[in-house]
Chains A and B, each alone.
Chain A
Amino acid sequence: MSATEPVIEVEHVSKWFGELVAVSDVSFTVGPGVTALLGPNGAGKSTMLRMLCGLTPPSQGTVKVLGGDPRHDLQLTRRIGLVPQQESLFEGLSAYEFVHLAAVLTEVGDTDAATGAALGLVELDPDDRRAVGTYSKGMRQRVKVAQALVAHPQVVVLDEPLTGLDPRQRLHLITIFQRLGAEGRCVIVSSHVLDEVERFGSRVLVMAQGRLAAEGDYHAIRELMDDRPHRIRIRSDDPRSLAAGLLGGAGVVGVTLEGADATIVDTRDAALLRRSVAVVARDRNVRLNEVTPLDDDLESVFRYLVEGR
């Protein structure tokens, strides 16, 4: 977490719709940079994002964005840009008109220049007169991103922004998000595509069944998962000898041989193993070819937090 003032503060927030509890007692803070909001379908991510933008009030708790209440402070909306999940746009407008409308309503200074710049950022032609109703899914998504960024908001909230984009466009948008984060803006992105979320950055908020399951750097989250041994694969020229040497070492829970050259080690202390494996290899005259953590990725963390496996 940054040492600066948090941009978003969520305190004991719950939201229910009749008898359905969508978000249950969630608290977190978010600072500048890119933060990914992860969770399976129905976890409460979209509801959470809507509360951050003031589109729906929390049933309990408080949400503060840039020190203000996004639900009641109209002026705060100038500083928040939202890419909503739903696909609908004002179908009869061109991309230029759509984004220009956003610029006008947000009272941007030079609306034409801002509109052109926002469309250029997402690689859309400002001179294209076609109605957005004729656009492909990917182009519509980019129009949504452009209208969210036209007023240079300090907080950018994106609900599944990569949906419908081809790989090149995804990479391009991810680069934009990273740049926005590096500029000091607070960017929150919700996504299901874990390997792309890893590229945004390492800070995550994981939600499951309306609750916050974890927050922070996902590598650090992994370290905190004490009850789940780390799994590390070591390729060497003598896996049997290496396995014999590692078995019984401090923190090592189990050792498995895989294939002709791999030793899979389960350990409670990955850092200790990394130090001891070199010593064991030297003592046993084993040449190490590779040491790879197998479950230090976001998917493993996510699966553990959300599915418990």
Chain B
Amino acid sequence: MTATSDRPRHRSRAATRFPIYRLVLRSQVTRARLLALLALGAVGIIVGAALGASNPAPALIDGLGLVDGHLAAGTRFVNTFGLSLLVPVTALVFAAASLGDPDEDGTLVYLWLRPVRRSRIVVAAAAASFTVAWPLVVVPLAVAAAATGGGRDLVVGTVASATVGLVAYTGLFCALGLVTKRSLVWGLLYIFIWEGFVATAADSAARLAVRTYARSVLSGIAELPLRGTVVDSPMRWIAPVAVGLVALAFATWRLARRDIA
């Protein structure tokens, strides 16, 4: 048997704190994911800078009159590139994998067969996904928003709307990862078909899309109306958080009842 070494090994008190959170965090950050999402964020910054360097004409908005061209272009860009693409896809990539990957490869048993409340597993996984996704999404978007020259309100609106969207998407896709093995596929369908297509057709359908609430937050803070349904405060803040929490509760319920391979 190997003699026990006296020198400290790769352990510390921190290793005993939030072990599941640390485990999921570590397993999610892969080079391919980081590179792809960093590249996307970088492209966003470049485009934001291009918008800032250009001289867009002031936009005529109903009820507001002429609005600064940089603000209008910047807000539209954050909405289409950020809230409609970068935020949901980044959340999907990390959140769906947080519990979906261990479920698929059979390592979930090493968490499940422990005296750990199921809610703790789910919350830790979601928190880890959010921790990774937030800087990958919000930082480049905020930088891009600042680069567009749209002003302070646009930057604040970008951070707030992206965060609110990320909270909802993280909860939703975390649950999706437990519900189906093809979570990435169904998540893309939700983002692209439901939110990008069906929800644009009718007001009632729009209220069933996370994007609507994130867009409403951005629109409210930047004080610029955007195309599509806009939800009034405070629902625009409450609904996404509620969606995220309900989704996590569902994921907990599901985890407690599923068959573990």
> In whole angstroms, how far apart are the Cα atoms of A280 and B210 in the complex?
92
What's the minimum C-beta distance from A70 to chain B, rounded to whole angstroms? Answer: 9
Interface band, chain B: 20 to 34
CB nearest neighbor in A for B116:
A105
- The listed residue (B11, B109, B116) touching A96 by CB distance below 8 A is B11
- The listed residue (B2, B10, B261) touching A94 by CB distance below 8 A is B10
Asked whether any CB of chain A lies closer than 8 Å to the CB of B62, the reply is: no
**Are A77 and B113 in contact, CB atoms less than 8 angstroms apart?**
yes
Residues of B within 8 A of A84 (CB): 106, 109
Interface residues in A191-224 by Cβ distance below 8 A to B read none
**Are B2 and A55 in contact, CB atoms less than 8 angstroms apart?**
no
- The listed residue (A50, A82, A92) touching B26 by CB distance below 8 A is A92
Residues of A in contact (CB 8 Å), total 42
> In whole angstroms, how far apart are the Cα atoms of A57 and B258 in the complex?
9
Residues of B within 8 A of A173 (CB): none
Asked whether any CB of chain B lies closer than 8 Å to the CB of A89, the reply is: yes
**Are A77 and B115 in contact, CB atoms less than 8 angstroms apart?**
yes
Stretch in A35-43, A120-128, A265-273, A290-298 with 4+ CB within 8 Å of B: A120-128
Asked whether any CB of chain A lies closer than 8 Å to the CB of B1, the reply is: yes
- The listed residue (B1, B9, B114) touching A106 by CB distance below 8 A is B114
Residues of A within 8 A of B10 (CB): 94, 96-97, 129
- The listed residue (A88, A102, A120) touching B2 by CB distance below 8 A is A120
Given contacts A92-B26, A105-B114, contact A111 B106 (CB under 8 A): no
> In whole angstroms, how far apart are the Cα atoms of A127 and B111 in the complex?
24
- The listed residue (B16, B112, B116) touching A111 by CB distance below 8 A is B16
Given contacts A125-B2, A126-B2, contact A90 B23 (CB under 8 A): yes
**Are B115 and A106 in contact, CB atoms less than 8 angstroms apart?**
yes
> In whole angstroms, how far apart are the Cα atoms of A212 and B20 in the complex?
39
Asked whether any CB of chain B lies closer than 8 Å to the CB of A185, the reply is: no
Interface mask (B1-40 → A, CB under 8 Å = 1, otherwise 0): 1101100011100011001100100110000000000000
Residues of A within 8 A of B11 (CB): 96-97, 100, 112
CB nearest neighbor in B for A147:
B110
- The listed residue (B1, B16, B19, B106) touching A86 by CB distance below 8 A is B106
Given contacts A90-B107, A97-B10, contact A82 B113 (CB under 8 A): yes
Given contacts A86-B261, A92-B26, contact A123 B117 (CB under 8 A): no
Residues of B within 8 A of A111 (CB): 16
CB nearest neighbor in B for A106:
B114
Chain B positions near chain A (C-beta within 8 angstroms): 1-2, 4-5, 9-11, 15-16, 19-20, 23, 26-27, 105-107, 109-117, 259-261
What are 22 A-B residue pairs whose CB atoms fall within 8 Å in the complex?
A: A50-B259, A55-B260, A56-B259, A57-B259, A78-B115, A80-B113, A86-B106, A88-B105, A88-B106, A88-B107, A90-B110, A93-B26, A100-B15, A104-B15, A105-B111, A111-B16, A124-B2, A126-B4, A126-B5, A126-B9, A127-B2, A147-B110
